[in-house]
Amino acid sequence: MLTDDQRRFLAGQRVARLATADAGAHPHVIPICFVVTGNTVYFSIDEKPKKQSGRPLKRIANIRENPFVAVVADHYDDDWSRLGWVMVQGRAEILDSGEEHDRAQASLRARYSQLKAMGIEGLPVVAIRIEHAASWGSLRTGEEA
């Protein structure tokens, strides 16, 4: 699904935006830390304080109601010839445990040192099965740009 350039661009981005919608199509967009493995984007719920009030997080509730999501990672530069983004769309699946859950958390911990000290083992991972990818602009990152 992803081209080599899109995959390289995503690997170079530290944050992306996750777009979900509930059953009534009300949108919800939040930043996420993520990793791409194969044709799946993973992110984990972490220990940072979140306002829950006994209800599931909005992103989790939305995925349960409507599993179709989008993730956008972008690069902004005042030199607009360097602007670029990659969007993936697909069906999200909530993983509460298991081998895939554990592998995804290990990959996320390897990418984000902040997760190493967090007790995320019992927290859900969301797996987004990429069905479509689109991009625009410059997909060069780091020293390439």
Domain segments of the chain as ranges: 4-144
CATH 2.30.110.10 for domain 4-144:
yes
Residue range 76-102: mean pLDDT, rounded: 96
Residue range 123-133: mean pLDDT, rounded: 97
Q: Report which secondary-structure segment, H or E, holds 106.
A: helix 99-111
Percent over 90 (pLDDT), the chain: 80
The sign one gets for the Cα dihedral 52, 55, 60, 66 is negative
List of residues 6+ apart from 136 with CB closer than 8 A: 83, 84, 85
In the predicted structure, residue 84 carries a pLDDT above the cut 60: yes
pLDDT score at 48: 62
38 conformational bin, left if phi > 0, alpha if psi -120 to 50, beta if neither: left
Report how far residue 19's alpha carbon sits from residue 29's, in angstroms, rounded to the nearest whole number: 4
Query: pTM for the complete prediction?
Result: 0.91
- C-alpha dist (Å) from residue 61 to 82, 87, 130: 36, 22, 20
Percent over 70 (pLDDT), the chain: 91
In the predicted structure, residue 141 carries a pLDDT above the cut 80: no
Look up residue 20 and give its two tokens: 């979900």
pLDDT score at 38: 96
Report how far residue 127's alpha carbon sits from residue 96's, in angstroms, rounded to the nearest whole number: 11
Q: How far is CA 112 from the centre of its chain?
A: 13
- C-alpha dist (Å) from residue 40 to 47, 83, 94: 23, 24, 13
In the predicted structure, residue 50 carries a pLDDT above the cut 80: no
